[in-house]
Amino acid sequence: MTTEAARPGVNAVQIRTLLEPGNLALLVGLGALTIPTILSLGEQSWTTELGAHGPIVLAVGAWLLVRGLAAAKPLFAPGSLALSGLALLVSLAFYIFGRAFDFITFEAAGLYGAGVAVLYSRVGLKALANTWFPVAYLAFLIPPPHSFMDRVTAPLKQFVSWAAMNILSAAGVPVGREGVTIYVGSYRLLVEDACSGMNSIVGLVAVSLLYIYLLRGSNLRYSALLTATTIPIAILGNIIRIMTLILLTYFGGDELAQGFLHMTAGLFLFAVDLILVFMVDRLLMQILPKSWRPA
């Protein structure tokens, strides 16, 4: 006697179902929109620290979506043609505008909206709701506008530079600050966007949500709570990062701090941030009431 796995995966039959003639035509159409946008994201966003998580989100999100749709096949029912058509038209307008004026945020948002509209038209609302996590997770591929990021990172840069200076100053390091410019010894350091904490917040939230979904399931309340803890963790990590770079500059010179160790410090502290998120998760699972814990 053979038994089926309790947690369905993706097999050849399910994949062939997703690639039926009607679905395949839509996939080809979406592919014609997707490929140019992926290339643009690779050139503009994924080469920066803020968008470095993009390729991972794309690969993992697509895998989770196919896996989730295969499991939700019994819920498939065509969605409203009028609603999906309206959403597709609006999304294509965003896509065309972003593509024509090289506005990657609008282009990626339009592509995302078109994908969700097409998916809804084929599988319906119940199946779409059943796969809400991978659908929402893929939204991390939309890069935020630079003007928004400038407004958000400005106070964060001020705060982390102020905190790093005061901690080191209390420890006896000759360090001063003017805005986001830090003076240590004969050197002057500028706190850039990469050190503000926002980049780490975006990456940490993306990785943390994936961790929660795979390990704890799609508990929305618990996901929101643990995700909220990533914000102070990311800011703390960037304060430590700036302190590290200041000390490297003071004791080893500008070449040492701005060379290989600059990126190494960022990667190391991101790994530490992830470990802290995992530790907070274990702590929450111990102290939260059962009604708040994922099943």
162 and 133 housed in the same domain: no
74 and 48 housed in the same domain: yes
Residue 293 falls inside a structural domain: no
Instruction: Please name which of 164, 200, 167 lies closest in space to residue 182, comparing C-alpha atoms.
Output: 164
180 and 247 housed in the same domain: yes
Return d(Cα 10, Cα 276) in angstroms, integer: 33
Look at residue 214 in the predicted model and tell me its pLDDT: 84
Domain finish residue from 87, 116, 141: 141
Look at residue 252 in the predicted model and tell me its pLDDT: 80
151 and 279 housed in the same domain: yes
Look at residue 25 in the predicted model and tell me its pLDDT: 72
74 and 187 housed in the same domain: no
Single pTM value for the model: 0.78
Domain finish residue from 141, 163, 198: 141
Residue 279, domain extent: 146-287
> Residue 268 above 70 pLDDT?
yes
Residue 42 falls inside a structural domain: yes
Look at residue 115 in the predicted model and tell me its pLDDT: 93
272 and 179 housed in the same domain: yes
150 and 131 housed in the same domain: no
Residues near 116 by beta carbon (within 8 Å), at least 6 away in sequence? 87, 91, 128, 135
Domain finish residue from 141, 158, 185: 141
Number of structural domains, the chain? 2
227 and 189 housed in the same domain: yes
Q: How does residue 288 score in pLDDT terms, banded at 50, 70 and 90?
A: confident
123 and 211 housed in the same domain: no
Return d(Cα 123, Cα 70) in angstroms, integer: 11
Sheet holding 187-190, edge to edge: 175-178, 181-184, 187-190
Residue 3 falls inside a structural domain: no
124 and 58 housed in the same domain: yes
Instruction: Please name which of 70, 75, 114, 118 lies closest in space to residue 93, comparing C-alpha atoms.
Output: 114
User: What single string gives the DSSP state of each residue in 175-239?
Assistant: EEEETTEEEETTEEEE--GGGSSHHHHHHHHHHHHHHHHHHH-S-HHHHHHHHHHHHHHHHHHHH
Using one digit for the tens of pLDDT, what is the confidence trace for 122-175? 899 999 999 998 999 999 999 988 777 777 777 888 888 899 999 999 999 999
Instruction: Please name which of 50, 54, 37, 47 lies closest in space to residue 104, comparing C-alpha atoms.
Output: 37
187 and 264 housed in the same domain: yes
Instruction: Please provide the average confidence, as pLDDT, over all residues in the chain.
Output: 82
180 and 118 housed in the same domain: no
Look at residue 4 in the predicted model and tell me its pLDDT: 37
What 3-state class would DSSP assign to 79? Answer: coil
What share of the chain has pLDDT > 70, as a percent? 84
Sign for the CA dihedral angle at 33, 35, 38, 44 comes to negative
Residue 157 falls inside a structural domain: yes
